[in-house]
Structure 1
Amino acid sequence: MNLYFRLFWLFVWRVRHCNSIGFLGTSRIAYRALPCDCDINFHVTNSRYPAFLDLARTYMLAEMGFLNRFIKLKWMPIVNAAEFTYIRDIKPFTKFEIETRLVGWDEKYFYIEQRFVSDNTLHCIVHVRGVFVCKGKQVPIDTMVKEVNFEGPAPELPAEVVKWKEFLQLKKEQNM
């Protein structure tokens, strides 16, 4: 239930009062780990991280100034793959931030890095690969980049994302 409240709060209040960042800027949104976010080990449960990340990516689009435009275009963001590296747990009542940034794109996917941090402590790093879909079809990356008026080459993907892409391709090939 608290995720529905957080989603409601995101759309009703936070996106209307958010900062403005550039297309390749870093978005930051703060949350507090509530007891209902935690498991029997008294830390944020693994299943809660992806839900927080969905909210943070939505907030990033709002800070970039594209959320309303993408909604009007009926572009739906879809996660294709994600990889999580858990470093330190988040205890109940800890205030933390999720830092979200677009690290690049290729001919088919965009890549986002998200970090859970609190008091200069890194808790988790996540890489997300995704697309936008409209009417059941993928929106081409070039169309998305043009829609946001970004000019210039795609940033060079970080080495860990390049390796992850290679791993995903190998996984796909092994299971076809």
Structure 2
Amino acid sequence: MNLYFRLIWLFIWRIRHCNSIGFLDTSRISYRVWPLDCDINFHVTNSRYPAFLDLARTYMMAEMGFLKKFIKLKWMPIVNAAEFTYIRDIKPFTKFEIETKIVGWDEKYVYIEQRFVSESTLHCIVHVRCVFVCGGKQVPIETMIKEVNFEGPVPELTPEVIKWKQFLQLKKERNI
């Protein structure tokens, strides 16, 4: 329930007062762990991470200046796949930051890396594969890149993302 309050706060206050970043820059948003974010082990429950990530990606689009434009175009961001690597737990009342950045794209998907960090501790690294859809159809990557006015070279995907893409393709082929 408290993520609804965080979502409302995001739209009412944080987006209106956010920084401006470039398309490939890192977005940073901070939160504090409240008791309702925790499980019986007194750390952030695994199911809470994806919800925080949704808020951070929304904030990133606002910092890039595209959130209003994408809403107006009726483009809906859809997560196609995500992989989590949990490194250190996050305890109650800890202030942490989520760092979000686009690490590249291919002919179909945008790849995003998100990190949970507090002080100098890395807690979790997440890779997310996303698409935008409009009217039930995928928005072509070329259209999205053109809409955001990005004219630089396509960044090379990291070795981790390349291996993850291969793994996702293997899963798809083995389960068709």
Q: Does 1:20 align with 2:8?
A: no
Letter in 2 for 1:91: K
Task: Tell me how far 1:152 sits from its aligned partner.
Answer: 2.5
Matched AA of 1:9 = W
Aligned position for 1:171: 171
**TM-score, structure 1 normalization:** 0.99
Shift in Å at residue 126 of structure 1?
Answer: 0.1
Which residue of structure 2 aligns with residue 91 of structure 1? 91
CA RMSD of aligned residues (A): 0.4
The residue that corresponds to 2:106 in the other structure is 106
Q: Secondary structure at the match of 1:7?
A: helix
Q: Deviations over 1:92-151 (max 9, x none)?
A: 000000000000000000000000000110000000001000000000000000000000
Separation of aligned partners in 1, 2:105 and 2:9: 30
- Alpha-carbon shift at residue 34 of structure 1 (Å): 0.2
Paired position in structure 2 for 1:31? 31
Mapping of 1:73-152 within 5 angstroms?
73-152=73-152
After TM superposition, the structure 1 stretch with the greater mean CA deviation from structure 2, 152-161 or 86-95, is 152-161
TM-score if structure 2 supplies the norm length? Answer: 0.99
Runs (5+) with no aligned partner, structure 1: none
Work out the CA distance in 2 between the residues paired with 1:100 and 1:72.
23
How do 1:65-80 residues align onto structure 2 when only pairs under 5 Å count?
65-80=65-80
Task: Show structure 2 runs of 5+ residues with no match.
Answer: none
Corresponding residue of 2:58: 58
SS at match of 1:13: helix
Task: Count residues in correspondence.
Answer: 176
Distance (Å, rounded) in 2 between the aligned partners of 1:4 and 1:152: 37
In the other structure, the counterpart of 1:11 is: 11
Q: Tell me by how many angstroms 1:153 deviates.
A: 2.2
